[in-house]
Amino acid sequence: MKVKILSFLFLIIAITSCNKFTREKYPQLASKKESYKYINSCYSAEFEDMNKIPTEMQNMLTSYLKNRLGNKNFEKLEFKNGYILSDKPIEIEKTENESRILDLLGQNIQKIDCDTILDYPIYSVVYQLKKPEIGIEKIGLNLMLDRNGKLIKDIDFPKAKFANVIIPIDSVHSELIRRKISYKKLNIDLWFDRRTESFVWSTNTLIRDGSIMGPSCFPEVNYHFKMNANDGKITEFNIEKANDYFFGSDNHYIE
């Protein structure tokens, strides 16, 4: 009886995890959790208004992003939220409701074994950039600078000189037509490859949704080709290394 119960519970957990995987699409867009992947600070505070941080820091973040993205892309940025990460208690104006939420999340409690060699405070900001004219619905960008403007974590986006030469999704469509690849159950995804600092269009066709455990459990996919979205170079998939390419830490999924 115990064996049957354990098997049933395992099945429920497996189905839940697979469905969650389907919804979130790994790797995810930049989120509030992004900061904690890189910095284990003793204290943290969230801000949803850039005016809550020092003007000098606002200017440093703005200056970096303009140089990094170019003015045209910078003007399209939408600020989502930010974090201050520190080794000391943080003085930031918060409403009573915000303070209560932070208390519930445990973010007002000092952590142990936190990083101490960094030049705190560190400012982590998350923006969204939309470029529908080339087929990009939205890109989540996370930038982290220390109090002196030193780069802690760069955004996942091509350098400014390449940012305005991103090949649109129409070029992918043309290649699909040339290869006579059907659009039935076709997926065209955009990734940022940190190794080459470029965007990559990838194409695949879903053959089978998955097993009884959920649509994201063991789906059968036919990979077609990858296209570098900055120079148009087309590369074929190495099927044996498909998982390494898509699920490696060097790649970031874009919607």
- Write the burial class of residue 176 (CB in 10 Å: 0-12 exposed, 13-18 middle, 19+ buried): middle
In the predicted model, what is the mean pLDDT of the chain? Answer: 76
pLDDT at 155 over 80: yes
Residue recorded with tokens 């992003």 = 65
DSSP symbols for 199-236 = EEEEEEEEEE--BTTBTTSS-EEEEEEEEETTT--EEE
Q: How far is Cα 142 from Cα 61, in angstroms, rounded to an integer?
A: 11
Nearest CA among 203, 78, 200 for reference residue 138:
78
Assess contact for 251 and 27: CB atoms under 8 A.
yes
Identify the band that residue 154 occupies on the pLDDT scale cut at 50, 70 and 90.
very high
Taking Cα atoms as reference points, which of 45, 30, 17 lies closest to residue 255?
30
pLDDT digits (tens, 9 = 90+) for 69-119: 988 889 999 999 898 988 888 766 555 555 554 555 455 555 567 777 788
H or E segment and range at residue 75: helix 71-75
Q: Please tell me the distance from the alpha carbon of residue 122 to that of residue 86, in angstroms, as a whole number.
A: 6
- The CA distance from 193 to 247, in Å, is 11
By CB neighbour count within 10 A (0-12 exposed, 13-18 middle, 19+ buried), where does 83 fall? buried
CB 205 within 8 A of CB 224: yes
Give the tens place of pLDDT for each residue, 58-83: 999 999 999 999 888 899 999 998 98
CA distance 35 to 230: 28
